[in-house]
Amino acid sequence: MRLSRLVRLCLFLLVLAAATFTYSAMTFARFTETYTGSDSALVARWNFSARGQDDEAFYNKGFTFDLFNGQTVKPMDHGGKYFIFTGGGSDTAIDYDVRMNVADLGFLTTYGITTAAQADIYAPFIFKITAEIPGAGPYVFTPGGSVDGWFRPKDILDGSAGVDVDAEGYFSILCGRFPVGSDEQVRVTVSWQWNTSFYIRDIDDYAAVQPNTAYDADKACMLYYQAAYDTYYGPGGLQDQRNAAAQAVSAFLAEHGGPSPDGAWLHYYPCEADHGAADNTCPEEPHEIPCPLNENDGHFTEYNRLAGIENAAIRACETSLLKAYDGYDTAAMNELVSKESVKVMFRIVGNQVRPEG
């Protein structure tokens, strides 16, 4: 695949993923309210902890989760990382809630992505959250509007996904409970893509586009973009059609000339008959014969037909899906690089469960 103009712009943005670890922990004195003599209050053990994929140990206060590996991110990039948290054998049951914040990935601007289409531009990221929970089947976070578990931050932020977002911008992606003494571990994997096919369909002209998360490793390209690229640059594609239409107009003008100053468009061909032949029926010496298009403004009619085909081919290129993708991505990148940073944040909350009785 040839590099498009978009890639050659070399515009990049830095996207950060921050992780916090919080808990609400009451110290229960072995859940005993009264003590006598020299009895001492034994504090319940609390070991709710987590570690990121890049951490070597579990931590109680925070953990490393650099979702994007500290790298610049550009259109069609993709990746994923996991983090693990555990009850750590705590003496209390623990209700846990894993929360995510994508507030930085909302509306960016309004921009003309092609010569014909204005669009509201959003940071075109999609995410998929999966988890491995002991004793349970595979878990996938599936908010409204998600496609095979892939969801858009836009739908979370505008409420269309049906997910509650708190005042800080966090929303729950996974919750559950570790029983008393549990040292089970929950592994959460966060997959992400810069995938404009999930956003371009919001524009009326491209409403029929089907989102596609497949990636062609050999071409280092998302298949949705490759398909649009092939439609434009492939054999017989939009660019070939545009060139052919332009060549047809040029060839017509080269053969038939153009209108005279008085507005008439007449053209004559040299008579190619063998005037010296005995069977020649042409009564004159070598001369010109009128072009059939001289009748009824035929030249204008044919030229307008060919020019109409060329104009339609030009418009098809200018409004193509490839141009729309490039326009959308360029607008998104221009807005995102103007920000100091763009954060995607995760928070794991653990609450001790007071024992019954």
For residues 121 and 193, what is the distance between their CA atoms, to the nearest angstrom? 16
The tokens describing 29, both together, are: 């004195």
Question: What is the radius of gyration, based on Cα positions, of the chain?
Answer: 34
pLDDT of 56: 83
What is the value of pTM for the model shown? 0.82
Q: Which of 331, 338, 339 is nearest to 111 (CA)?
A: 331
| Residue 288 CA: distances (Å) to CA of 72, 268, 291 | 69, 6, 9
pLDDT, mean of each 10-residue run, the chain (357 residues): 36 49 43 33 66 83 73 87 90 90 94 90 96 92 96 97 95 95 93 96 94 89 95 97 97 93 90 67 73 91 96 96 96 89 87 75
Strands (E), the chain: 13-24, 49-52, 72-73, 78-86, 93-101, 107-112, 118-122, 125-132, 139-140, 170-178, 185-194, 215-216, 221-222, 268-270, 288-290, 342-353
The alpha helices in the chain, defined as continuous H runs, are 5-8, 153-157, 197-200, 223-233, 238-256, 298-318, 321-337
